[in-house]
Amino acid sequence: MADPTPNASSSSPGITKTMDAIMALCKRRGFVFQASEIYGGINGFWDYGPLGALLKKNLREAWWQDVVMNPAWGRKGPDGQPVSVVPLDTCIIQHPRVWEASGHIAGFNDPMQTCRQCKKLFRADHVWTMLEEAPWLVSLREAFSISADLTTIRFDPGLAQKWAGSKGKKLAPGMALVRKYTETMATLTKTAEAASGNLDVPTLLKLMATDPALAAQGLATPCPNCGGDLTEPRQFNLMFKTYVGAAATEDDVAYLRPETAQGIFVQFKNVVDTSRVRVPFGIAQTGKAFRNEVTPRNFTFRSREFEQMELEFFCHPSESMAWYEFWRSWRMEWWQSLGLAGDNLRLYDTPKKDLAHYAQAGSDVEYRFPFTAPGFGELEGVAHRGSFDLTQHEKTSGVKQDYFDTTRGEPLPNGQPKGERYIPHVIEPSAGLDRGVLAILCEAFTPDASRASRVYMKFHPRLAPIKAGVFPLVNKDGMPEVADKLAADLQRRVGRFGLVENDAKQSIGKRYARMDEAGCPFCVTIDGDTLTNQTVTLRHRDSGQQERVAIDQVAGLVADKVV
């Protein structure tokens, strides 16, 4: 599920930033839990604990504030005018013809393979990537002499026999080398001799996973889970099917939306007709989407239920590339503003050959997750979709989706423009909220062997789920009462942005350690001096430094940093 490969950015001796360590902290501190955990969990579904729910809320609200309420931080667009965006909230279940028009019913498929031994399903285009992380392949690499470039292997029948009878039984029970040792060894030995003792790795793996009879027909691909052989790829639709109404017949079939964008497109005309908006303008929404992933993996990165933050920006065709460049640049800047700055974040332009058939341009904001390192994983896509979506819905529904622009066209005798009717082009910045939370968690995870917690979460104060901790040094002598009053003041000032924790239990060192793991940017300690001179100790999470400040200044200092 998680790749334990350490991230190269680990900073403290003896402590590495790994997905295992990040996931352990997420469970320990209540950021993310496995869904239905008491029943063994359900693959591809995750629940957010108290701190995770707040972190996710803060990221969602940061997007909402900066994209909808104050679009692009109040900047002017390529047309020299302030950017205009309106909100929308559409249903998870849409009319089935929405997905017919969008192409999801016909084309939203992944090639899928099934293991003949363990019966697990895999996306065909992910199998070889998963093999690189498979425990049995890691063991195999230790047992055999593989070249540094992973292209050749020195095959030793005796070593193969030893491995098959020990680690192979546990790690790769479906492998032909383990299941049918004698027959497979004969095939392997013959092939190795023909290659003068050298085999390329893919050929060896396929031979080890394939029955001799299958090998004669063509080499199969080994299963990442058990080493068995996989079926030929077949298409698998990624949409979750459901039924509308009590009858539940095939006439009542509907689908859980695989993206939030189509709800925006089918409401385009209603928004134009009921709002005082003019092209160029955007429609934005956040919400759940569902994809029946064949192989959900890498913690919350690839899940079957996830949340999107999407903007569909409608503009005149002649201005569309300028708007694409605008959103492409600003969306990268937005992620950087939240702490994803540095080498772990990049803007990647999709090659033309890899674009969707309707796309005119596309870029991805990508983050280097520990499980993708040294490569990157997509965080947000910015796509120039042309007029494809509105045109498709116009064709399928029979309802016109064009826009009459009164500011364009040849001038009339009275000097006013004649007007122009056109189907707008669309620029789509589409971000994954869950992937954003995961990137924030991975980036914030900061090993520090000098601290009691040995790690702290370096959240941007705007995103931190706990904004401040208020701690009476001892639970007596009037200190708890002062702490209660200060915590209430802080809660009034910053409570809508996160929690203020008021805690009098355990030693102050343990309370600091707990706040470090929770990513709390400020801790305020009430001590004996507070009662005499009305000052407190303000501790800064990132540096660990402490300073004395007047108690009546604390709420303002914290509020200035966390909102």
Which tokens sit at 333? 């800047």
Smallest Cα–Cα separation from 177: which of 157, 150, 151? 157
What is the location of CATH 3.30.930.10 in the chain? 19-101+242-443
Give the type of residue at 556: G
Omega before 87 cis (within 30°)? no
135-143 vs 157-165: helix crossing angle, rounded to 10: 140
Give 308-335 pLDDT, tens digit per residue: 999 999 999 999 999 999 999 999 999 9
470 neighbors 483 (Cβ within 8 angstroms): yes
Helices (H), 65-156: 96-102, 104-107, 127-131, 135-143
What is the location of CATH 3.40.50.800 in the chain? 451-562
Question: What is d(CA 131, CA 428) in angstroms, rounded to the nearest whole number?
Answer: 34
Which tokens sit at 426? 């669309």
The architecture that CATH gives domain 451-562 is 3-Layer(aba) Sandwich (3.40)
Class of the domain covering 19-101+242-443? alpha beta
pLDDT tens-digit profile, the chain (563 residues): 333 333 334 344 445 789 999 999 999 999 999 999 999 999 999 999 999 999 999 999 999 999 999 999 999 999 999 999 999 999 999 999 999 999 888 766 677 788 888 888 888 878 877 877 788 877 877 776 665 555 566 666 677 778 888 888 889 888 877 877 666 666 666 666 655 555 556 666 665 555 444 344 444 678 889 988 888 887 777 889 999 998 888 889 999 999 999 999 999 999 999 999 999 999 999 999 999 887 788 999 999 999 999 999 999 999 999 999 999 999 999 999 999 988 999 999 999 988 888 899 999 999 999 999 999 999 999 999 999 999 999 999 999 999 999 999 899 888 899 999 999 999 999 999 999 999 999 999 999 999 999 999 999 999 999 999 999 999 999 999 999 999 999 999 998 889 999 999 899 999 999 999 999 999 999 999 999 999 999 999 999 999 999 999 999 999 998 87
Give 143-165 pLDDT, tens digit per residue: 766 655 555 666 666 777 788 88
